[in-house]
Amino acid sequence: MPAGTLYRGREGMWSWVAHRVTGVLIFFFLFVHVLDTALVRVSPEAYDEVVATYKTPLVALLEYGLVAAILFHALNGLRVVAVDFWSKGARYQKQMLWTVMAIWFVLMVGALYPVLGHAVREVFGS
């Protein structure tokens, strides 16, 4: 087999896997969100109880994870579009992935303080 033709699962494979995983996670969130919203028609009291559980520090961290998944999925989706529709996209796909990761990281660090601040206030009541 000629050198360089064996797929070794580098950045392209991991971005493919992460794109699928984040897509599935987002789908399950939307599924649960539709179910809990529909609960208000069945039992407003049960709906209020479910919504009250969402005001916990653990759920704040899960929301942060949801934001991370949506942001990565969106940014990587734009990269995939560029690879597919830009004539030089395939040549620069690796650089575009690292750019996506850098933008994702900066935005997630920026979102960390509000989420953790909310979680800390919930735990310590400040």
The whole-model pTM stands at 0.80
pLDDT average, residue stretch 79-106: 92
All structural domains of the chain with their residue ranges:
16-124
The dihedral through the CA atoms of 45, 50, 54, 57 has a sign that is: positive
Query: Reduced to 3 states, what is the DSSP secondary structure of residue 88?
Result: coil
pLDDT for 112: 84
CA 11 from centre of chain: 18
Is the pLDDT confidence value at 4 over 60? no
Establish how many alpha carbons lie within 13 A of residue 104's alpha carbon, considering only the half-sphere containing its beta carbon.
22
Distance between CA 89 and CA 52 in Å, rounded?
46
CATH 1.20.1300 fits 16-124, yes or no: yes
What local confidence, expressed as pLDDT, does residue 54 receive? 85
